[in-house]
Structure 1
């Protein structure tokens, strides 16, 4: 059986098993220059609002507990001297409330209870501090991560794999070439629990072995899902609009912060004019990623992710999406499984437009 996500034919295997998912927002990164991350520049848009580095607690009915990403550790020195030295020189500021293990233990979830940590990738703002977890916690990585960062010494100032990350613990690399591999949309997938509740997705480009996750949050006539995007994109403006999710004629609630949210935002042709003036596809995203381990591959992965992002019953949560700090967003220890009932898809999908408001043409062109 299948769950048909939309009439365009994107399907996934049927399942009546869900994952209880909880969002941990413990990190704030202030003052990032968007021209270092996104391309082409938008005049008047240089520094975006502060962004999180989200982590996710995934609880399976079997009792297994997983973490998808760990954010930033409170002690930056645990990331290695090369990363720590670089972070002292960058222009943005990092605020870490607490390590993930401390947040969990405040709510009676012991670090020993975590069966596995899944890194979307090995960059400094996602890997946290694995040494805080016991050897019984497996580290799950994407393809070729060990060869790249351990065997070939590919660590850099943006991250990698240190000895303390893997010493004494089981490390599992996801194999997307094996017989168990599925195809969901245009992405290769592995069914983590073999029950359709959690799929790890092959999304290379931003970093070697970059993973995303598709988590089933409800079942029924039409299941709902979270798409945990990691750094497949840094900003929703690299993903939207798209052929799967065109820009609406009017948007409610209004995404602009100084406007009554009940008055619809009508973009007219302002986005088309913005993109046309910068050599971008008129009805596509406003940005492309500016850098990555394989930039062309990163752009391809974004295109594949757009297939999921265009579905009403799939909520994309990028690790650094400031829109996730919406007033209606449930945070740990509350579950986000009822995101669809809460209207979070509607509320979050176009909220990012506030980031580029200053760069939009002031009047629609007829």
Structure 2
């Protein structure tokens, strides 16, 4: 075998992304809020030694010339002012560390720009300059506080989200949403992914909507986790083409996506350093290569199957649809043209440029190849525990 993979990679499928000379600028927004995610609740199986994680929630600013769209708003800074039923659930789960919010990030950057005192690429974009807010879905860690944007700023939603969300609290005391999210007559645009309708295209096996109408930014129909769940796909360079895939909550750990038949586990490499040593400290017999140790942890014990599935239970509305969406994403993940950022992938946090910097040059930076297997280091304790027990 000529590659460093444990098994020969399968040929990645053709995604058939339409050609376009048009691009958008993509900036990753991280407002600093951390969520406490427990293995077994959001992805399974739980592995002995694999601990709960504190993860960010990534949002995105997509700029098409002087047109700006925000993809997700994260957690509202004053989350205690959310609907009472939601507040009760968050407090019970003790799952949040407070951060800022997206409107504040934009305003602070704009103030630096206006004062001319910043040292970075300040943009001067305020919430009033954003033409639309796209919600990937209607969960609290993505919906933020739309009232921090003008009431004329539309909400762009996936199919069925409006009916599933409103009326909110206080009109409906049991709602997780707020009436104030759409107060003031805020316009709502619900995306249709029906074939034959204006803007409909196919991206890989996804039904997609061409948001700007020129192939620069697509919304993808990615159901399963929640009603109307969507991903985003932004063209960051035209020739050669490259894309950033905004995975939202298609999964909550990158080990749900990897490895695959297209991206099997590596035999060794920088991301695996320390795994073999960790295991050898607890046994006297020679250890296999790090990749083989890790393969024993995958769902099937094989190097071309992912570590986790999305969990069955309340956090994924439709498990079968969720797994189908994961399968479609895995095909995009296999492409060298696509850099996937799921909303809660903490391994990327200190590696990729954050707002106000652009992430368009991700390929030149080698971000995809250098971060693809970083999550494997999280399994050191699992390997050591199993080695000690063998």
1:229 is matched with which residue? 247
| TM-score normalised by length of structure 1 | 0.87
Q: Does residue 313 of structure 1 match 2:337?
A: yes
On the 8 A contact 1:27/1:54 being kept in 2, the answer is no
Match of 1:246 among 257, 264, 273: 264
On the 8 A contact 1:255/1:351 being kept in 2, the answer is no
Give the Cα–Cα distance (whole angstroms) in 2 for the partners of residues 247 and 32 of structure 1: 25
1:354 is matched with which residue? 377
Structure 1 residue 267, shift from structure 2 partner: 3.0
Distance 1:52 1:258, change over 3 A: farther
Distance 1:282 1:245, change over 3 A: closer
Q: CA deviation digits over 1:32-77, x for unaligned, max 9? A: 32222211111111323x210011111102x110001111111113
Q: Please report the RMSD computed on the Cα atoms of aligned residues, expressed in angstroms.
A: 2.5
On the 8 A contact 2:265/2:291 being kept in 1, the answer is no
On the 8 A contact 1:112/1:136 being kept in 2, the answer is no
1:55 is matched with which residue? 59
1:69 is matched with which residue? 72
On the 8 A contact 2:12/2:331 being kept in 1, the answer is no
Q: Does residue 284 of structure 1 match 2:289?
A: no
Q: Secondary structure of 1:357's match?
A: helix
> Any unmatched runs of 5+ in structure 2?
1-10, 111-124, 278-287
Structure 1 residue 302, shift from structure 2 partner: 0.4
Q: Which has the higher helix share?
A: 2
Distance 1:140 1:74, change over 3 A: same
Match of 1:149 among 162, 165, 169: 165
Q: Does residue 342 of structure 1 match 2:361?
A: no
Q: CA deviation digits over 1:289-309, x for unaligned, max 9? A: 113011111011000111101
Structure 1 residue 336, shift from structure 2 partner: 0.7
Distance 1:359 1:212, change over 3 A: same
Give the Cα–Cα distance (whole angstroms) in 1 for the partners of residues 141 and 301 of structure 2: 29
| TM-score normalised by length of structure 2 | 0.82
Flag the structure with larger Rg.
2
2:226 is matched with which residue? 207
Q: Does residue 175 of structure 1 match 2:192?
A: yes
Higher relative contact order by CA 8 Å / sep ≥ 6: 1 or 2?
2
On the 8 A contact 2:272/2:290 being kept in 1, the answer is no
Give the Cα–Cα distance (whole angstroms) in 1 for the partners of residues 70 and 269 of structure 2: 34
Give the Cα–Cα distance (whole angstroms) in 2 for the partners of residues 209 and 238 of structure 1: 21
Give the Cα–Cα distance (whole angstroms) in 2 for the partners of residues 52 and 156 of structure 1: 29
Q: Secondary structure of 2:320's match?
A: helix
Give the Cα–Cα distance (whole angstroms) in 2 for the partners of residues 360 and 193 of structure 1: 47
Q: Does residue 20 of structure 1 match 2:36?
A: no
Give the Cα–Cα distance (whole angstroms) in 1 for the partners of residues 349 and 188 of structure 2: 32
1:125 is matched with which residue? 141
1:99 is matched with which residue? 101
